[in-house]
Structure 1
């Protein structure tokens, strides 16, 4: 098994980091994901694996992270507060460390009513800030109750932020709270206004943390309109939507790739890396990496 180059090492050395994201399958057929990931070994620095994103039931993040680790990737395990209490979270984190996982992204998680199991009971025993504090404790050799561990964890702690939130003030307060809770890197919500992102970066540069700009691939005008209507903090500009619509159904994805590449090039001088999310279009990841000169 090839030992992956750690995302932490890339960030600590001040290199421009590139991470990507996979949704585990809704089922047990993981062949397409692994085939895609195989072609990206050595071409990206970290691979996020989502945790029942949008409250849709899928295979777990941890086993997929392990498979990617065995392939030579450095996985980023996502952990939401929606589905586990503090016992389960700590147990899963200890297990993740045993399996070689060294990055965790701490998230609140969408409420079950937005997903495909609307009757599921949410847990939310902790919030994302408390999970970061919990991970810090495990790294320091103590569980959340203060008990000493027989072997500490060694996680790099990640957090999420929405740089295009309106108003931005409360988000900046939350950013600082997460830094104080132990966040070492941030992967942002999708950005489509580079000038707003640059302003956000000026506001947070005083903190000694790394920020990776979120790049979400647009597949159609309809997708962009849906996000504008339903996802707080995301605002796809009208001119981008017109560009996608003019391309028609056949070529909208190609336009989405070009928009992603333009955005990466616009934000690159101002941040520490990019986090590329190509939902339902992971086959376009190599093309985005090549055109954005991220190889």
Structure 2
């Protein structure tokens, strides 16, 4: 019996979010990403992310992306949930200690947010207030461990009870890499042991590299224990592709894609077409549970890609 079956048995009595349900029944999941606005009202949140309603199974809400202050991720996620858009609430370790993080986990559950993603967080030195003091009281794996205990045992780390316990689907981040001889996915295995149920990866546009990476994960039993959601997105231009290759750690867009963008009359439209094609290819690769579509402030482009991919129409009956 796989871990997925064991988890399904153990959690049968708790409510599941749409993302978890889609993954567990074996359909190809589609997640997207939005950033909270610099605003003190709900309308801008829905204006930015509302186009993903009915398309993405869940929408990640970033937590202080770029080490800059924005509307609270918890508040933005709650607004999306209230509007019928399931959030994945990101938690960075940069800004809050363990007490605040535990409180926000309970608050998220109470507000109808079933999914969390535990992240390290961008360095404050890269933001627009570099004098800010980072916290890093615990690391992302410790938060996963804490969240799993709160969910499965119904207690805080101190042993104090939580009633009712939060319903959580716990996520981690990963970066596909071309595995060298002898390489083992130790970091990812540690996240699974800490409590990760799913992983969302950094951008991966090289499908051959991805297949080699997944094969190595399979060799070490990772794919039997974890849902893998691969990061992808519409590239706005060849210039953007070159910038990503130079500035985003672990991202390598194949030269074939860059040349295709360079030769296109409408590079934005071509970037969306490329993303649709890669999305369809991803859906056929063994071991891939879904795709995570990212493009800063391009939620409408992501919605268009999901619709054009035709993947939602291929779903099994719920």
Normalising by the residue count of structure 2, what TM-score does the alignment of the two structures yield? 0.85
Q: Distance in 2 between matches of 1:179 and 1:74?
A: 23
The partner residue of 1:202 within 212, 215, 231 is 215
Query: Number of aligned pairs?
Result: 291
Q: Distance in 2 between matches of 1:45 and 1:13?
A: 13
TM-fit CA distance, 1:44: 2.1
- Aligned: 1:237 with 2:250: no
Q: Distance in 1 between matches of 2:191 and 2:238?
A: 34
Q: Distance in 1 between matches of 2:97 and 2:230?
A: 30
Residues 222-260 of structure 1 show CA distances to partners (whole Å, capped at 9, x for unaligned) of 322222222211111223223323336xx2211211221
Equivalent residue number for residue 280 of structure 2 = 265
Q: Distance in 2 between matches of 1:168 and 1:186?
A: 23
Q: Which runs of 5+ in 2 are unaligned?
A: 1-14, 313-318
Contact 1:217 1:279 in 2 (8 A): no
- 1:53-64 equivalences in 2 (<5 Å): 53-64=65-76
Q: Which runs of 5+ in 1 are unaligned?
A: none
Equivalent residue number for residue 27 of structure 1 = 39
Contact 1:4 1:74 in 2 (8 A): no
Equivalent residue number for residue 89 of structure 1 = 101
Q: Distance in 2 between matches of 1:83 and 1:4?
A: 28
Q: Distance in 1 between matches of 2:59 and 2:28?
A: 15
The partner residue of 2:167 within 146, 149, 154 is 154
Equivalent residue number for residue 224 of structure 1 = 241
TM-fit CA distance, 1:131: 0.8
Change in CA separation of 1:285 and 1:106 when aligned onto 2, cut-off 3 Å: same
Root-mean-square deviation (CA, aligned residues, Å) is: 2.2
TM-fit CA distance, 1:170: 6.6
TM-fit CA distance, 1:75: 1.0
Contact 2:232 2:294 in 1 (8 A): yes
The partner residue of 1:172 within 162, 168, 185 is 185
Residues 58-95 of structure 1 show CA distances to partners (whole Å, capped at 9, x for unaligned) of 11111111111111122110001011110110111111
- Aligned: 1:73 with 2:90: no
The partner residue of 1:104 within 104, 107, 116 is 116
TM-fit CA distance, 1:39: 4.0
Normalising by the residue count of structure 1, what TM-score does the alignment of the two structures yield? 0.91
TM-fit CA distance, 1:55: 1.1
DSSP 3-state at the match of 1:247:
coil
